[in-house]
């Protein structure tokens, strides 16, 4: 299992990769706004996890559902990195 910190780092790396690739949404629009929102959500969740020593799995689940609504089908790297957060210890 990944540590909480390393799981957050991997998820944030995937966000950065998506930003560099100029990731698009399912409808073909640039996902700049969505990725910025996701980055902010992950950074806030990481700070709360650092303070409490645990991940709020409901919060991460909400982020996964939010991203799944706009993220293109067949692209799994970002979703997988977010899913790994729910399994981190």
**Residue 3 contacts by C-beta under 8 Å, 6 or more apart in sequence?**
88, 89
15 class by beta-carbon count within 10 Å (0-12 exposed, 13-18 middle, 19+ buried): buried
Total of domains in the chain: 1
**Residue 86 contacts by C-beta under 8 Å, 6 or more apart in sequence?**
55, 57, 60, 61, 64
* Domain span holding position 60: 4-87
Average pLDDT per run of 10 along the chain, which is 89 residues long? Answer: 90 97 96 97 97 94 95 90 91
Inter-residue contact 87 to 11 (CB < 8 Å): no
How much is the pLDDT for 1? Answer: 61
């Amino acid at each position: 299992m990944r540590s909480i910190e390393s799981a957050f780092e991997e998820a944030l790396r995937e966000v950065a990769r998506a930003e560099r690739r100029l990731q698009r949404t399912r409808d073909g629009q640039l996902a700049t706004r969505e990725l910025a929102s996701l980055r902010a959500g992950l950074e806030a969740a990481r700070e709360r996890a650092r303070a409490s020593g645990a991940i709020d799995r409901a919060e991460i689940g909400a982020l996964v559902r939010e991203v799944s609504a706009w993220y293109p089908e067949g692209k799994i790297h970002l979703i997988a990195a977010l899913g790994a957060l729910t399994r981190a210890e």
